[in-house]
Amino acid sequence: MEFFDHETIKWSSKVLRAITNIGYGTISYFKVEFEEPFWDVENPGVMILRDSDTFKTFDYKDDDPWYNYVYGFDSVLHHPNILMGWMSGEESRAMEMLSDKDIGESCTHLLVCLSNVQK
């Protein structure tokens, strides 16, 4: 399988400006592996939408934890015990500095909170 080399494509200045101003910033993904799936493996994923009150219920370590900026988890094809998490913004850069253990614990906490809200 071949992918295009984005650095050698000659983009027009109009296209480059549009890409630069799209506003996504940094987008990061991470995987969280569990011994067994506790979610519906037939479901391709979950998007997280929160209001300001819901944000407050998840804060268990600090005032503005990085995991408040996780906006979804997707199932991973052929890996039924793995979820792929997605986030964007400066917080995603902060997340990249954390240990795998810290990421796993925070995501587990987030998923537990979300599942309690769903009930």
Residue 4 included in any domain:
no
> pLDDT of 27-60, one tens digit each?
889 999 999 988 888 888 888 887 766 666 555 5
pLDDT of the residue at 69: 85
| Positions of the chain with pLDDT under 70 | 1-8, 24, 52-64, 116-119
Residue 52 included in any domain:
yes
Residue 6 included in any domain:
no
How many domains, the chain?
1
Residue 15 included in any domain:
no
Domain span at residue 100 reads: 26-118
pLDDT of the residue at 114: 78
Residue 5 included in any domain:
no
| Rounded-to-integer distance, Cα 60 and Cα 50, Å | 16
pTM of this prediction? Answer: 0.68
Residue 38 included in any domain:
yes
Residue 18 included in any domain:
no
DSSP-derived 3-state class of residue 70: strand
Residue 94 included in any domain:
yes
